[in-house]
Chains A and B, each alone.
Chain A
Amino acid sequence: MTPVQMKRILLSFGVLLTLWACSPDSGGGGPEPPNPVSFDRGEMLVNWADNIILPSYANFNARLGTMNSAYTTFKSDPSEVNLQTLRDAWFDAYLGWQSVAMFEIGPAETAGYRLEMNTYPTDVITLEQYLSSGSYDLSLPANRDVKGFSALDYLINGLASADAQIVSRYQGTEQQALFDYIDAVIADMQSLTTQVIQGWENGFRDAFVANDGASATASTDRMVNDFIYYFERHLRAGKMGIPLGVFTGTKAPQTLEAYYRTSAGKELFLAAMGAFRDFFNGKHFGSSATGKSLASYLRDLNTLKNGAALDVIINDQITLATQQVSALDDFRTEIENNDPPTTMLLAYDEVQRIVPLLKVDMVSAMSISIDYVDADGD
């Protein structure tokens, strides 16, 4: 091609592009208003960070503090009454944990926060060895299953079958070893939590909100991937599927979260499910106000596609699953006393039905690639 031809062609393309860019947005006066997808991912990220994630962390941190005070009281006077107070505070913190467990992003991801805080079941044999030897380093990744909430579960609920016997261990020769161990566990949990909160406050919050694009590494894409992964692995499989034995064919109640507190498994599950739903709907932590969320994103996309209201379908399925789980006895009783635990398996199936709605329909509508694979497409 000659240079003149080339110039002419480039010029005409330039003109076309300019025309394109300057054309008015709306057709004006037509019966159907134009429906551009105007959803602002940046606003959603701000809502997530400022109204959900950071307040949830702050709340959880406060509950950890309360737990620590209850522990201090118990330490000064290891009585049955003070043990009960400590248990309540521990469980309250555990419930608060369910609101932050899904945010494994940024500083939490760096710290491996979720597994550091709440790997279960706890390894009782190793933990008892550490108690008797007195030498352990809880910061080692190999020790994740002898610390955090599940270690405390064993130490305050599982040391013996009767409360009097538990308290007697705290009053006997092992007293110092036990207190030293709990000191180390709580200090570890508090320092990890402080580290994560400070990471958010000192830079990550702004980076998270600013990364409002649509690439595989953008905040929305990452968060959605994490959110679904959390649901599949931790909510569905960890809290229900694995104890039910759906992947192995053998039920394993000892793998329940907070196994030594019989009623806890179900309550923790429901708390986690509630937090999950609130995040999906963009509900501010500790308030009934809502902001931009995955649900409102879906609503905006639906106006364009005239499709079915996917946000409603997902919420309905969450409601159904929650109802089925609520109607169950506590998880440990369900699994231990029924063979097979049919009602709980049916409830599990309803929980399971949420997965494809998120993993297929939601991400498909948002064009977010799940488990982002670094490979070419065509």
Chain B
Amino acid sequence: MNTSLRTKLELPREAAPLAVFRIFFGLMMVFSILRFWYNGWIESLYLEPVFHFSYYGFEWVKPLGPFTYLIFVVCALAALGIALGYKYRWSCLLFFLSFTYIELMDKTTYLNHYYFISVLSLLMIFLPLQAYYSLDARKHPEKAYQKVPGWTIISIRLLLGIVYFYAGLAKLNSDWMLEAMPLKIWLPSKFDLPLIGSLLGKEWVQYAFSWAGALFDLSVPFLLLFKRTRVPAFVVLVIFHVLTRVLFPIGMFPYIMIVSAMIFFPPSVHHKILEFLSRISGIVKSRFDNGRFLPFGKGSVYRLRNAFLLVFFGIQLLFPWRYLLYPGELFWTEEGYRFSWRVMLMEKSGYAQFKVVDRDNGKWVYVDNSEFLTPFQEKQMSFQPDFILEFAHFLESHYRQMGWGDVAVYVDSRVALNGRLSRPFIDPDTDLTQYKDTFEHKTWILPFHDTIKGL
């Protein structure tokens, strides 16, 4: 390993940024879960649907009826534990497991920022965020450290950097850059916003937003690293996220990103924040300023941890590129689309009408999707092939239970992508019951008949 990089990873740094990050992250998560509950989403997204769309290999993860609330309680308490630094590693592990379980219950609700939370909390289990200014550090002074090795802070920065940079790379395609799509569709519909509303219908504004968005995502992780550019970059970051919050319904994500990005600031800023916190809470901050340095660590446990971190970041760097292994247009087939920081790239909607045929007697029906799916599920299902296939298999078993014989399921579907007219999406002559969901290319997706150039 390069010595200067090694030094950077091992060099003692103030642990204050980690403490601030931990506190804000924990509180944001508590608030997110309460908000989720308060909005009635536990009920409407997890308890009301009769059918849930599962991730490949996680079909066993399902809502647990009324006990689903309990998972959210556990998740909120674990988040509170993180904020307080109380039994931090257990809290973090519990948070990661419960939060990820919630996300795996139904892929209808997949959002990149939920994935971000899962991945980040997984990483956090391995970071000593409780070393400073935590209940753990207070109870066990022998495990309290004012300073930590550099890698702990660098790994959070790296993950954030990947999120922004990959989101920027994903924007380098002809729809986004040359057609200003989908912003050309989305922005004009926000004409009623105060101040900027009248501008959003103008074509140059749509291009400006597209290009600025791509440039921002690609550059901000680097600009945050350097002292000279850090403050302006952070101001732009705040404006960017607030603007996305104003324009689009993206919940807590902008705030989470703004707070997370503070990890790029020097420790002096974090000490000020903690001093302020101490003043209003009466916590004695000086008790944590013990000057002790948490060593980098040697031995097999640490080697295992390091191996995990290498694998973790290796996956983070490589996984978004898996789409290259599939033929066809990524935006159309969505094979390898998720878990890759592709955010806000598509205005895509579809319509799927299923036909169930009993091959024994020729009897057939059209399916009323709303009989089985919520409007949200139906919407997500209608343009994502893996959802369509899963629903087709559900229909097969449903009609078999109703006493039908040899059931075949066909779908007549149309999908519109980024302002193009809708086109047939799935081969209407394919009996979907003949196909299992795999990671292989789905041959029954009809061709896109257009090209989107770029990454």
B-contacting residues of A (Cβ < 8 Å)?
A: 1, 5-6, 9-10, 13, 20-21, 25, 34-38, 41, 212-215, 218, 237, 241, 245-249, 301, 304-305, 307-308, 310, 313, 352, 355-357, 359-361, 363-368, 370-371, 373-378
B226: interface (CB < 8 Å): no
With known contacts A37-B188, A246-B365, A247-B365, A361–B421 Cβ distance under 8 A: yes
* Complex: chain B residue closest to A378, CB-CB: B111
Residues of A with C-beta under 8 A to B150: none
Residues of B with C-beta under 8 A to A377: 111, 248-250
With known contacts A246-B366, A310-B421, A361-B416, A214–B351 Cβ distance under 8 A: no
We find that the number of chain B residues with CB closer than 8 angstroms to chain A is 58
* Known pairs A36-B203, A373-B374 / 5 extra A-B pairs, C-beta < 8 Å: A25-B202, A305-B419, A310-B421, A364-B416, A375-B41
CA distance A34 to B201 in the complex (A): 11
CA distance A215 to B191 in the complex (A): 10
Q: List 20 A-B contacts (CB under 8 A).
A: A1-B231, A5-B231, A6-B231, A21-B195, A37-B188, A37-B191, A214-B189, A241-B366, A249-B363, A307-B419, A307-B421, A357-B422, A361-B421, A367-B347, A373-B379, A374-B39, A375-B376, A376-B252, A377-B249, A378-B253
With known contacts A304-B203, A377-B249, A356–B421 Cβ distance under 8 A: no
Which of A249, A305, A357 has the largest number of chain B CB atoms within 10 A? A249
A36-B202 in contact (CB<8A): yes
Residues of B with C-beta under 8 A to A213: 192
CA distance A376 to B108 in the complex (A): 12
* Complex: chain B residue closest to A211, CB-CB: B192
B375: interface (CB < 8 Å): yes
B109: interface (CB < 8 Å): yes
CA distance A237 to B249 in the complex (A): 33
CA distance A361 to B347 in the complex (A): 11
CA distance A310 to B189 in the complex (A): 18
**Interface 1/0s, chain B 211-233, versus A by CB < 8 A?**
00000000000000000000110
Give the Cβ gap from A186 to chain B, nearest Cβ, in Å.
34
* Binding site secondary structure of chain B: mixed
B111-A376 in contact (CB<8A): yes
CA distance A37 to B195 in the complex (A): 17
CA distance A300 to B289 in the complex (A): 65
B250-A376 in contact (CB<8A): yes
Which of A248, A305, A355, A366 has the largest number of chain B CB atoms within 10 A? A305
Give the Cβ gap from B404 to chain A, nearest Cβ, in Å.
9
**Interface 1/0s, chain B 363-405, versus A by CB < 8 A?**
1111110000011101100000000000000000000000000
With known contacts A356-B414, A360-B416, A378-B343, A373–B201 Cβ distance under 8 A: no
B201-A368 in contact (CB<8A): no
Partner of A367, one of B185, B203, B249, B420: B185
* Complex: chain B residue closest to A302, CB-CB: B419
B375-A9 in contact (CB<8A): no
Partner of A375, one of B45, B184, B204, B239: B45
B189-A364 in contact (CB<8A): no
A352-B201 in contact (CB<8A): no
Residues of A with C-beta under 8 A to B41: 374-375
**Interface 1/0s, chain B 353-368, versus A by CB < 8 A?**
1000000000111111
Residues of B with C-beta under 8 A to A378: 111-113, 250, 253, 343-344
CA distance A149 to B248 in the complex (A): 44
Give the Cβ gap from B387 to chain A, nearest Cβ, in Å.
15
Partner of A352, one of B344, B353, B375: B353
B349-A376 in contact (CB<8A): no
With known contacts A355-B351, A376-B111, A214–B421 Cβ distance under 8 A: no
